[in-house]
């Protein structure tokens, strides 16, 4: 009897062990795949190499890292005010039944596959923006380095950041909304009793859940860094260090997705090396947000 | 005082504006899908779902090959992902304080957010790559299935765990007090009690992988023919949308919208089903 009781948990435990080993397995796989590349090129040269060029056998990750940081950072900048405002509107301003319906719509946005958002970006949003917003920016604000462009392009860093921002916002909204719900009623009552207006109370609530907002936005940032297909469809896929937001770029994920299927030998190994960089960046953002979040689970979210 | 009221009003307007900013693109996407894609589907309802894609420049064609390829890929992914996810999830719930469960829970929380493209890269490296892979087939459909299964497992495991944790401890204690073995308690008592929760968990996992394209592109490459062998590239709906959307041909772009509409409806149907089942679990109706 005891033997059976134990054996079933050994059986189930082996699957849990498998689950726990997936992440080390990924890390090992990245190292293993990139090892051929790093036996020929030094990691330092790779990470600080300014150029990614196949004919010249130059494999530098810096342009891709730059593209990832700019697009993901810009997406985060777009999503921060919108997600906070939307979460406040849903949990504090709208009546219950409306905000429930809206919650379902927000979930629906989150469920749109990234390739469909990319399709919208490439066929609808990009052409629309280039004939309106981008034209306006180049003509009127073209003296600013970030809005300079030699030619008017529909697919550039700004389009990529807008598409990314739209993809990560619903997720941030639902986490911040969840946090707002957990503000103790005493705090709200005390604030109203002091004669504060609605928005002054909301500001107090927001400052109360600051760590929760931080965790939500970090998770959103992680998703923006990890996104591949939608970005590769709208970013223009030309690696450069240009400061202008209206010029194309490449990111870690777009280089991998555009070249991996046909790559062989050193190029394939170099692409896996890019994957290793992506692994480190995204794992650290996920870990930071998880640590903050887990701390909250013991704090006001208990 | 009036100034404060004005400021409150401005803030309120901005908050509603941000909601609008979220909803407008969704409506835009749905509108384009329905107008561009729906039109194509209505014009060729049978051809669209059963026929293969045409070369650019030729009218007509459908996504039948992509539907077939997706069914194969998702089928194998579910075959691997469901048992592994469920068993791991049961362990997480029934041995929740053991170090292994804690480690697995921590890892799966990270994996849910993990870049799916890297899952594809690693799967390809170990299984399909001609240099480092065990099977050395080059880009292949089975590798895509493995990658999708790996993406699905942590999600299913965590959802199954949540379902099992809703079972009151009294039931476990009662079952053990009758002298039943753990195997009986888990598979004959607890699993039937949360059957609907487990089905929901599988549906959530399926909804996550049905629209995934990055891991498929990386492991399986791109194909526009019928599914032939597991060791060869196969078509799938998300990758078809990717290829057709990037192409400069109007007919292909229209079909990309149609395929996107089909994919969206599929995901909504899965989500609806999951919600329906969960509701049944809680209210009994």
Reported ipTM: the value is 0.92
- The percent helix, strand, coil of chain A (3-state, each to 5) is 75, 0, 20
Q: A17 and B207 in contact by Cβ < 8 A?
A: no
- Which chain B residue is nearest to residue A293, measuring alpha carbons? B109
Find the residue in A nearest to B223 (Cα): A261
User: pLDDT 10s digit of each residue in chain A, 302 long?
Assistant: 455 556 888 899 999 999 999 999 999 999 988 888 888 888 888 888 888 877 777 888 899 999 999 999 999 999 999 999 999 999 988 998 999 899 999 999 999 999 999 999 999 999 999 998 888 888 888 788 888 877 888 899 999 999 999 999 999 999 999 899 888 888 889 998 998 888 889 999 999 999 999 999 999 999 999 999 999 999 988 888 888 888 899 999 999 999 888 887 788 888 999 999 999 999 999 999 988 888 887 777 66
Query: Which residues of chain A are within 8 Å of residue B175 when distances are taken between CB atoms?
Result: none
> Hey, are the CB atoms on B18 and A19 less than 8 Å from each other?
no
User: Measured between CA atoms, how close is B46 to chain A, in angstroms?
Assistant: 23
B82-117 residues labelled b (16+ CB within 10 A) or e (exposed): bebbbbbbbbbbbbeeeebbebbbebbebbebbbbb
Mean pLDDT: which of A32-36, B228-232, B258-262 is highest? B258-262
**Which residue, among A131, A232, A229, A123, has the nearest Cα to B253 in the 3D structure?**
A123
Contact at CB, A4 and B182, closer than 8 angstroms = yes
- Residue A137: the pLDDT is 86
Of B7, B88, B210, the CB nearest to A18: B88
- The full set of domains in chain B, from first to last, is 64-283 (1.10.3720.10)
Burial class (CB in 10 A: 0-12, 13-18, 19+), B230: middle
The mean per-residue pLDDT over the stretch B67-82 comes to 95
pLDDT value of position B136: 80
Q: Under an 8 A CB cutoff, do A123 and B107 touch?
A: no
Give dist(CA A286, CA A278) in Å, integer: 12
Cα B101 from Cα B82, distance rounded (Å) = 18
Tell me what pLDDT residue B99 has.
Answer: 93
pLDDT of residue B281: 62
pTM summary value: 0.92
Query: Smallest CA–CA separation between B88 and chain A, in Å?
Result: 4
Q: Could you read off the pLDDT of B60-74 as tens digits, one per residue? A: 888 999 999 999 999
State the average pLDDT for chain B. Answer: 90
- The answer to whether B271 contacts A107, with C-beta atoms less than 8 Å apart, is yes
Q: Which of B214, B250, B275 to mutate to test the interface with A (most CBs of A within 10 A)?
A: B214
Q: How many CB pairs under 8 A join A and B?
A: 269
**Contact flag B26-A226 (C-beta cutoff 8 Å):** no
First-to-last C-alpha distance (Å) of chain A? 39
**Residue B7 pLDDT greater than 50, yes or no:** yes
Q: According to the model, what pLDDT value does residue A3 have?
A: 52
Question: A295 to chain B: which residues are within 8 Å by CB?
Answer: none
For B127, which DSSP code? Answer: I
Task: Quote the percentage of chain B above a pLDDT of 70.
Answer: 98
Neighbours of B199 (CB within 10 A): 16
Instruction: Find which of B4, B24, B25 to mutate to test the A interface (most A CBs within 10 Å of its CB).
Output: B25
| pLDDT classification of B27: cutoffs 50, 70, 90 | very high
Looking at the predicted structure, is the pLDDT value of residue B47 above 90? no
């Amino acid at each position: 009897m005891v033997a059976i009781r134990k054996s079933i948990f050994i059986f189930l435990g082996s699957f849990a062990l498998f689950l726990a080993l997936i992440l080390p397995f990924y890390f090992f796989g990245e190292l293993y795949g990139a090892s051929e590349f790093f036996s020929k090129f030094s990691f330092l040269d790779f990470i600080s190499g300014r150029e990614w060029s196949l004919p010249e056998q130059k494999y530098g990750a810096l342009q891709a890292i730059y593209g990832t940081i700019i697009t993901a950072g810009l997406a985060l900048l777009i999503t921060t005010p919108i997600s906070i405002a939307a979460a406040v509107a849903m949990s504090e301003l709208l009546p219950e039944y409306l905000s429930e319906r809206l919650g379902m719509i927000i979930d629906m946005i989150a469920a749109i596959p990234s390739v469909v958002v990319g399709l919208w970006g490439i066929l609808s949003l990009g052409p629309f923006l280039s004939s309106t917003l981008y034209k306006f920016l180049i003509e009127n604000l073209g003296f600013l380095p970030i809005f300079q462009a030699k030619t008017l392009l529909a697919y550039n860093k700004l389009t990529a950041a807008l598409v990314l921002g739209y993809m990560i916002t619903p997720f941030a909204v639902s986490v911040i909304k969840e946090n707002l719900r957990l503000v103790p009623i005493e705090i709200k009552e005390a604030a109203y009793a002091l004669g504060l207006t609605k928005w002054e109370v909301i500001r107090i609530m927001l400052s109360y859940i600051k760590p929760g907002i931080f965790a939500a936005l970090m998770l959103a940032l992680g998703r923006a860094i990890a996104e591949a297909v939608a970005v590769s469809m709208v970013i223009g896929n030309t690696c450069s260090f240009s400061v202008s937001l209206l010029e194309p770029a490449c990111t870690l994920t777009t280089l991998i997705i555009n070249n991996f299927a046909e790559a062989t030998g050193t190029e394939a190994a170099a692409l896996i090396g890019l994957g290793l960089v992506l692994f480190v960046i995204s794992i650290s953002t996920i870990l930071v947000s998880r640590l903050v979040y887990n701390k909250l689970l013991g704090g006001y979210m208990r | 005082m009036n100034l404060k009221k004005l400021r409150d009003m401005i803030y309120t307007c901005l908050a509603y504006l941000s909601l609008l900013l979220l909803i407008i693109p969704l409506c835009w996407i749905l509108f384009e899908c329905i107008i561009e894609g729906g039109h194509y589907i209505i014009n060729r309802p049978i051809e669209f779902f059963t026929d293969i894609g045409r070369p650019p420049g030729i009218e007509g064609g459908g996504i039948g090959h992509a539907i077939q390829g997706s069914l194969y890929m998702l089928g194998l992914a579910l075959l691997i992902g469901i048992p592994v996810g469920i068993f791991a999830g049961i362990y997480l719930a029934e041995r929740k304080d053991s170090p292994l469960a804690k480690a697995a829970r921590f890892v799966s929380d990270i994996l849910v957010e993990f870049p799916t493209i890297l899952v594809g890269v690693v799967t390809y490296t170990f299984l399909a790559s001609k240099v480092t892979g065990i099977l050395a087939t080059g880009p292949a459909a089975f590798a895509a299935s493995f990658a999708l299964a790996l993406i699905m497992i942590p999600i299913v495991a965590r959802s199954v765990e949540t379902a099992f944790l809703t079972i009151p401890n009294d039931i476990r204690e009662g079952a053990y007090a009758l002298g039943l073995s753990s195997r009986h308690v888990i598979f004959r008592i607890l699993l039937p009690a949360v059957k609907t929760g487990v089905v929901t968990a599988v549906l959530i996992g399926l909804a996550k992988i049905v629209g995934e394209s990055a891991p498929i592109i990386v492991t399986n490459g791109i194909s526009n023919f019928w599914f032939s062998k597991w060791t060869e590239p196969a078509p799938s709906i998300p990758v078809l949308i990717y290829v057709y959307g990037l192409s400069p041909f109007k007919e292909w772009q229209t079909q990309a919208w149609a395929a996107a509409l089909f994919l969206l409806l599929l995901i909504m149907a899965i989500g609806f089903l999951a919600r329906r089942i969960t509701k049944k679990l809680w209210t009994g109706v």
